[in-house]
Amino acid sequence: MINVVKIGGNVIDNPESLERFLKDFASLKGKKILVHGGGKEATRMSEGMGIKARMIDGRRVTDRQTLDIVTMVYAGLINKRIVAMLQEYGCDAVGLTGADGNVIPAVRRNPVPVDYGHVGDIDESKVSDKFIGDLLNGGHVPVFCAICHDGKGGLLNCNADSVAGAVALGASRVESARLIYCFEKPGVMTDVNDENSVIPLVTSESFQILKESGIVDKGMIPKIQNALLAASKGVAEVRICNAEALCGEGGTIVRER
Amino acid sequence: MINVVKIGGNVIDNPESLERFLKDFASLKGKKILVHGGGKEATRMSEGMGIKARMIDGRRVTDRQTLDIVTMVYAGLINKRIVAMLQEYGCDAVGLTGADGNVIPAVRRNPVPVDYGHVGDIDESKVSDKFIGDLLNGGHVPVFCAICHDGKGGLLNCNADSVAGAVALGASRVESARLIYCFEKPGVMTDVNDENSVIPLVTSESFQILKESGIVDKGMIPKIQNALLAASKGVAEVRICNAEALCGEGGTIVRER
């Protein structure tokens, strides 16, 4: 079983959380892959350079300068810091973007109706299971950030949850794969203020109900959609849980049925 | 024969030179590896953020902030730009630092007598030929920047010529390797103002004479030393030439005897 684990900005932004998480991740037995998001460093960097982050509907617009910054911060600073820490913890990490080895080809998002700039969408059927398999079989641990490419020389800023789903689907063509979305909450909850309200199982059907009733909030919807897509296309197990629960049980299992 | 090619800042800083060079590099047949230096982007970035580059004897001091910047610029921006361009030219590039796959372990330079900060020296005998071999045999083209690590979680800024030499020695344990240092001059010259004064062959013995007579200038000395080290330890052929002569002949061959 290949474990594909995704962490977001909340873990990355806190040095103690990151250290604890990476030690847990390093202790996971067997084949594994890490996918990481961005965190606040890119925004800090932009501001330090006097570049204002432009957002549309809560999503960052990736103009040329912003693409350079996210490439530097995600593929450079954060990715290589994580690689160096994992190496320290005895985990033979190899830090990658989707451009490296052409693992994750992407397509620039249609600029109509909204032009998000250098933002890419992934066709998960095109993820290179060959290279992922070679790395895993060689005892390495791929660490992906969410920068991909268009195959025509252009880098693209992608959604890290989608990258994780695509990588898990690629991995599941090598052998059975488990996808774990780690975030700051203990799972999908009926009440975000009640730690005991974790929903143990979400299916396509119950997701519809949760969505229509407004129980799951806006931020959770794309995460569950990514999880459902992965589950429906061949990832053996998909779980959404707290980063601190990586090595334990609990959280929300997402399954098609 | 594995070609290990090193390019410096002068090629990287000029978009047209970089494009021409990468097309030439992509056209090289057989197994190959690219090692790239930094260029002026890191200095520009530092200045943009109000950080003054501190130099001692013409060498940048890598304090904590500078380490972050060179990691972002070399391992992020430049490395991934090169990877995306090579992918466009049909070359299956994989961008790496020395931390990835623990390929190039380094040791922080002794802070006595001069503390250069997070600067590393490489023990070329410790370069992982296994991972390099796996990548090459899988049809990939490793692209290294000169960021390495200490194995204890710390990244280190290394000299790109030394990284190229170390990588060539690692590669030469896989199969016979050729190391090509590309720079802005046509080779080692007796007169830097005379394009026709290229010295076709430099050996350990002739290097002593060139050094003592002051014919080779300061900047060339460490490059030739790196070249001689690689040649003496097992790299089959070492050449110093202009980036535009990559696919041709000419330049200076460096050999032990």
Query: Hey, are the CB atoms on B81 and A152 less than 8 Å from each other?
Result: no
Spatial separation of the C-alpha atoms in residues A32 and A86, rounded to whole Å: 12
- Which H or E run includes A165? helix A160-171
Q: Determine the Cα–Cα distance for residues A200 and A248; give it in Å rounded to an integer.
A: 14
Contact B153 A72 (CB under 8 A): no
Measured CA to CA in angstroms, residue A95 lies from A69, A101, B37, B80 at distances of 18, 12, 19, 12
Q: What confidence score (pLDDT) does residue A130 get?
A: 95
B81: helix, coil or strand?
helix
Residues A55 and B114: their CA atoms lie apart, in Å, by 46
Contact B94 A100 (CB under 8 A): yes
Which of B71, B73, B92, B148 is the mutation pick for testing A, counting most A CBs within 10 A?
A: B71
The length of chain A in residues reads 257
Q: A158 to chain B nearest CA, in Å?
A: 15
CB–CB of A169/A118 below 8 Å? no
Could you tell me the pLDDT band of residue A186, with boundaries at 50, 70 and 90?
A: very high
Give the span between the Cα atoms of B170 and B96, in whole angstroms: 15
Cβ contact B153–A87 (<8 Å): yes
- Report pLDDT for B41: 87
Confidence of residue A248 (pLDDT cuts 50, 70, 90): confident
Structure tokens at A64: 């040329």
Both tokens of residue B141?
A: 């083209």
Mean of all residue pLDDT scores within chain A = 94
In contact, B60 and A51? CB cutoff 8 Å: no
What is the total residue count of chain B? 257
Task: For residue B134, list chain A residues with Cβ-Cβ distance below 8 A.
Answer: 134, 138
Q: What is the DSSP secondary structure assignment for residue A130, as one 8-state letter?
A: H
Look up the CATH number of the domain holding residue A68: 3.40.1160.10
The closest alpha carbon to A185, from A211, A232, A219, A162, belongs to A219
Q: Which residues of B133-158 are buried (b: 16+ CB within 10 A; e: fewer)?
A: bbbbeeebbbbbbbbbbbeebbbbbb
Pairing of strands B32-36, B141-144: parallel
- Where is B253: in which H helix or E strand? strand B252-254
Nearest CB neighbour to A68, from listed B74, B77, B153: B77
Q: For the segment B128-160, what is each residue's pLDDT rounded down to a tens digit?
A: 999 999 999 999 999 999 999 999 999 999 999
Compute the nearest-CA separation of B168 from chain A (Å).
20
The one-character DSSP state at B215 is: -
What is residue B57's predicted lDDT score, i.e. its pLDDT? 78
Note down the domain range covering B203.
2-254
CA of A151: which chain B residue's CA is closest?
Answer: B88
Q: What is the enclosing helix (H) or strand (E) of B95? A: strand B93-96
Which residues on A lie below 8 Å from B149 (Cβ)? 83-84, 87
Q: Would the CB atoms of A155 and B80 count as touching at under 8 Å?
A: yes
* Structure-block tokens of residue A147: 């920068």
Q: Which of B34, B77, B78 to mutate to test the interface with A (most CBs of A within 10 A)?
A: B77
Give strand ranges (E) for chain A.
2-7, 32-36, 55-56, 59-60, 93-96, 106-108, 120-122, 141-144, 147-149, 155-157, 177-183, 201-202, 237-242, 252-254
Between B96, B101, B152, which is nearest A88 by CB?
A: B152
Residue B153, Ramachandran bin (φ over 0: left; ψ between -120 and 50: alpha; else beta): left
Complex-level ipTM: 0.95
Say if residues B179 and B233 touch (Cβ distance below 8 Å).
Answer: no
* pLDDT tens per residue, range B195-216: 899 999 999 999 999 999 999 8
The CB density around residue A58, as the number of other CB atoms within 10 Å, is: 7
Q: Are A160 and A37 in contact (CB under 8 A)?
A: yes
Of residues A20 and A43, the one with the higher pLDDT is A20
The mean pLDDT of A8-21, rounded to a whole number, is 93
Model pLDDT, residue B232: 96
Residue A57 clears pLDDT 80, i.e. is over it: no
Cβ contact (<8 Å) for A134 and B138? yes
Per the CB < 8 A criterion, the answer to whether A220 and A234 are in contact is no
The answer to whether the CB atoms of B99 and A87 lie below 8 A apart is: yes
- Taking the C-alpha atoms of residue A89 and residue B72, their distance in angstroms, rounded to an integer, is 23
Contact across the interface for B147 and A87, Cβ inside 8 Å: no
Rounded Cα distance, A161 and A146, in Å: 9
The burial class, CB within 10 Å (0-12 / 13-18 / 19+), for B16 is: exposed
Amino acid in the structure at residue A187? G
Provide, as residue numbers in chain A, all residues whose Cβ is less than 8 Å from the Cβ of B151: 87-88
- Which residues of chain B register pLDDT less than 70? none
How close B185 comes to chain A (CA, Å)? 28
Give me the residue label for tokens 């059975």: A176
Burial class (CB in 10 A: 0-12, 13-18, 19+), A205: exposed
Contacts of B97 in chain A (CB under 8 A): 80, 83, 95
Beta bridge partner(s), residue A155: A149
Domains held by chain A: number: 1
Pairwise CA distance, residues A147 & A75, whole Å: 7
The whole-angstrom separation of Cα B166 and Cα B186 is 23
Would the pLDDT of A60 be above 80?
no
DSSP letters of A37-48? ---THHHHHHHH
Candidates A22, A139, A84, A147; CA nearest to B147 is: A84
Percentage of the residues of chain A whose pLDDT score is greater than 70: 100
Tokens linked to A165: 């789903």
> Do B93 and A74 lie within an 8 Å CB cutoff?
no
Query: Stretch A131-141: mean pLDDT, rounded?
Result: 97
Is B118 in contact with B63 (CB distance < 8 Å)? Answer: yes
